[in-house]
C-alpha cells in the first residue's frame, strides 16, 4: 500500500480555464512531486476530504470548501508544480473518480 499523508495547510486556487473556472492545487518548489493519478472526494462534517491517489503516494486535503469540491467533481483537479525555481511550472490534471 502506498504511504498516506494528510495535509491541513495547502493552497487551492479557482481560476479561469477557457470559458469556465477550474480548481488547481498550487505546489511549492521542494514539495513532493505528484505523478499522474486520480482524485476522489469524501464528504465529512467540516466540508470534504479530497484524496489524491498516485502509484507512489496518497495525499488527503482536509476540509475542502464546497465551491472547490464542485469544480473537482465536475472537472478533476489541476496540480501546478515546479521541480526547481529555474524551471517553468508544470500542470497535471488528475481526473475525478467516485470511490
Q: What is the pLDDT of residues 52-74, one digit of tens each?
A: 999 999 999 999 999 999 999 99
Domain count, the chain: 1
Q: Distance (Å, rounded) from C-alpha 51 to C-alpha 7?
A: 10
Q: What is the pLDDT of residues 25-47, one digit of tens each?
A: 999 998 989 999 999 999 998 88
What local confidence, expressed as pLDDT, does residue 64 receive? 96
What local confidence, expressed as pLDDT, does residue 20 receive? 93
Q: Which residues lie below 8 Å from residue 73, measured CB to CB, with a gap of 6+?
A: 41, 96
Q: Distance (Å, rounded) from C-alpha 17 to C-alpha 76?
A: 13
Terminal Cα distance for the chain, rounded: 17
The whole domain housing 79 covers 4-96
* Stated pTM of the model: 0.91
What local confidence, expressed as pLDDT, does residue 11 receive? 96
Residue 2 has pLDDT above 90, yes or no: no
Amino acid at each position: 500500500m502506498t504511504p498516506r499523508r494528510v495535509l491541513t495547510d495547502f493552497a487551492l486556487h479557482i481560476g479561469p480555464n477557457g470559458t469556465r473556472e477550474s480548481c488547481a492545487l498550487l505546489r511549492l518548489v521542494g514539495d513532493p512531486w505528484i505523478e499522474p493519478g486520480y482524485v476522489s472526494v469524501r464528504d465529512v462534517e467540516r466540508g470534504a476530504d479530497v484524496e489524491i491517489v498516485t502509484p507512489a503516494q496518497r495525499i488527503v486535503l482536509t476540509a475542502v470548501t464546497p465551491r472547490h469540491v464542485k469544480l473537482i467533481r465536475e472537472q478533476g483537479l489541476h496540480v501546478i508544480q515546479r521541480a526547481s525555481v529555474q524551471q517553468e511550472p508544470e500542470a497535471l490534471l488528475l481526473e475525478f473518480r467516485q470511490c
